[in-house]
Amino acid sequence: MAATETKAKATKSHPIESWDDGISPIYTHLHPLLLLGLFYYQFPSLVENPVETLPQTALGVAALQLLYLCICIPGSNQAQLPQRGKKKGKVTQNHQGDTGFGAKLVPGILSLILAVTLGAPLIAIVLILFGAPLTSHQAHTIYCGLHISLLAAYPLFYVHGVDGAKWIEVGALAAPIDEVFGATVGTLIGAWVGAVPIPLDWDREWQKWPVTILAGAYMGYAVGKVVGGLPLKGFKIKIA
């Protein structure tokens, strides 16, 4: 009985703790503002020419996400042991095996490859299943899936790697809320809400596919990251 309880405690999931040294505490809060700033800057071009603007913007988003993950977030190759920090009840990360920015860069790039080659096509298929144009605007849908994958899937690949148990937990919405999982949930909810203006008879250029979807995704990412990293950290989504 005692052995079973010990095993359960050992496998208990904990929210991801961002690094608390160097510029990490500053950049983790600055990061969503940089992403929103990039999207805002590119918004006029996105409305005018989505197919040309989306891949260009994706390069900047990928670079910002890679920088954020390497500076602020422990990867799947870095042990995450439930050790008590200075604050009561806080779970801190074990820095053992962390040899600097270069050691984080390789898993960051590998996770980026997974997000582009695996996450983006899957999300594009989901978008089509949820009503995205099938016989037209294929490039728009693919690039939309790419952006959502960079926001929602890329950080998850970085922190969980190919750990099947972790991905099942994430898919079942059973993982504890933190800034990574919160950003993912926020991105998906934001993209869903962003679809609302598309069918409305307002005759605005920005209503065309997939501008509002991406606007909602980026705003949802920022809100989810902040809320998941601060007030709701450690909570779990309960589905009745």
Cis peptide leading into residue 15 (ω within 30°): no
- Check residue 107 and give its pLDDT: 92
Copy the structure tokens of residue 39. Answer: 């999207």
Q: Can you tell me which residue has the tokens 């993209």?
A: 191
Contacts of 195 (CB under 8 A, 6+ apart): 130, 131, 212, 213, 216
Q: What is the mean pLDDT of residues 52-63?
A: 97
The confidence score (pLDDT) of residue 240 equals: 58
Question: Cα separation of 164 and 223, whole Å?
Answer: 27
- The answer on pLDDT for 179 being more than 90 is yes
Q: Answer yes or no: is pLDDT of 95 > 70.
A: no
Round to whole Å and give the CA distance between 119 and 153: 6
Q: How confident is the model at residue 61 (pLDDT cuts 50, 70, 90)?
A: very high
Summarised one tens digit per residue, pLDDT across range 147-169 is 999 999 999 999 998 888 899 99
Using a pLDDT cut of 70, give the percent of the chain over it: 84
**Which one, of 225, 234, 221, 232, lies nearest residue 179 by Cα?**
225
117-138 tens-digit pLDDT: 999 999 999 999 999 998 999 9
Is residue 110 within 8 A of residue 160, CB to CB? The reply is no
pLDDT tens digits, one per residue of 190-215? 999 999 998 887 889 999 999 999 99
How many residues does the structure list for the chain? 240
pLDDT at res. 3: 43
Could you tell me where the DSSP H helices lie in 49-100? 50-72
Among the listed ranges 52-66, 123-137, 225-239, which one has the minimum average pLDDT value?
A: 225-239
Please check whether residue 190 is in contact with residue 216, taking contact to mean a CB–CB distance below 8 angstroms: yes
Domain ranges in the chain are: 24-72+100-229
Q: How far apart are CA 74 and CA 233, in angstroms?
A: 16
